[in-house]
Amino acid sequence: MLLFLFIIFLIAGFILIAARKTVRNLNPLLSPAAFVLAVVFLLLSMVRMVGPGHVGIQVLFGKVQEKTLPSGLHLVNPLITLERMSVRTQSYTMTAKAGEGQIKGDDAIVTLTAEGLSVNLDVTIWYHLIPDDAAEVYKNIGLNYVGKIVRPAIRTAIRSAVVKYNATDIYSAKRAEVTDDIFIILVSDFSVKGVECEKVLLRNVELPPMVKNAIDEKISAEQDAQKMKFVLQKETQERERKRIEAEGISKAQRIIANSLTSQYLQWYYVQTLKELVNSPNNTIIVTPFDQKLTPLLNIPTGRK
């Protein structure tokens, strides 16, 4: 539009110069003003702005220029058409959940494992366009490089990686390894097309019902085994506690038995007699005993 206005005012300036020879009382400032406006519109048409997170692709008469323009203001050939492409981090999600992926409906990837089972995978890929390769991408692929390159490469990489693993490994133990393998493949496939893979997120793994039930049963059995192991440990500890307690009681009884000398028994006998004499319920105390002072007490109780 600005270039079109430049051409109009430029032509108008030349027309006004020619008209001065035939038209009387023509303002001599009109032609200079037309030329000034033409120059202004020419300069404005040369100024192009590339927004943040984008690069500018210069196209002149259908030919893509190798040099791309970074974000900011630039002075370029007014005849150039500027196409802008984002170099920000983007995400591509393929999932069975409606409304979360780029494709409406079920877009989860169905792929085969090493044992021939079908699994459904939900994935998200973070990627961005390489700024220095943006011109080549535009020239060879176009603006829709996501649909032409990113999506097919993701599907191929996932299937190539998953086929090396068993379903149970993908579901649990080797999930991180599967993610790393997918990432390595995508880095290689993307880079030759001017795209850089940043990260692979394996969001969900949906196994066949039969395999999932078998895994759940295995986990349940392992939990029961751990529970039984805990019970056995508790019983072992309780048995050890009782053994130690019994040994302590036996040792205490041996110590007491060894300490019961005849002198101690005589002393204890006298002390017992004192308590019985001082008791208000006793009237007569008969204390037969032998030479070793082993008493046989027959103590009547009751009040007078």
Task: Kindly state the helix (H) or strand (E) to which residue 195 belongs, with its residue range.
Answer: strand 195-206
Number of domains in the chain: 2
Are 162 and 131 in the same domain? Answer: yes
- Percentage, residues of the chain above pLDDT 70: 81
Same domain membership, residue 203 and residue 116: yes
Among the three residues 149, 182, 207, which one is the final residue of a domain in this structure? 207
Q: According to the model, what pLDDT value does residue 184 have?
A: 94
Determine the structural domain holding residue 72 and report its residue range.
2-86
pLDDT of 298 reads 46
pLDDT at 249 over 70: yes
Final residue of a structural domain among 86, 111, 146 = 86
What is the mean pLDDT of the segment spanning 137-164?
91
Q: Are residues 80 and 99 in the same domain?
A: no
Give the CATH number, domain containing residue 100: 3.30.479.30
Strand pairing of 109-112 and 90-94? unpaired
Residues 73, 101 within the same domain: no
Q: What is the pLDDT of residues 251-268, one digit of tens each?
A: 877 777 777 666 666 777
Do 65 and 163 reside in the same domain of the chain?
no
Residue with the larger pLDDT of the pair 236 and 171: 236
Same domain, 50 and 94: no
Question: Same structural domain for residues 97 and 200?
Answer: yes
Between 236 and 3, where is the model more confident? 236
Domain final residue, candidates 64, 86, 108 = 86
Give the contacts of 182 (CB within 8 A, at least 6 positions apart).
123, 157, 158, 161, 200, 202
Give the DSSP letter of residue 108: P
Virtual torsion, Cα 276, 280, 283, 289, nearest 10 deg: 0
Neighbours of 159 (CB within 10 A): 16
Asked whether residue 302 carries a pLDDT value surpassing 70, the answer given is no
pLDDT at residue number 118: 84
Question: Do both 184 and 160 map to the same domain?
Answer: yes
Q: Please tell me whether residues 72 and 135 are part of one structural domain.
A: no
Q: Is residue 108 in a domain?
A: yes
Q: What is the pTM (predicted TM-score) of this model?
A: 0.62
Mean pLDDT across the chain? 80
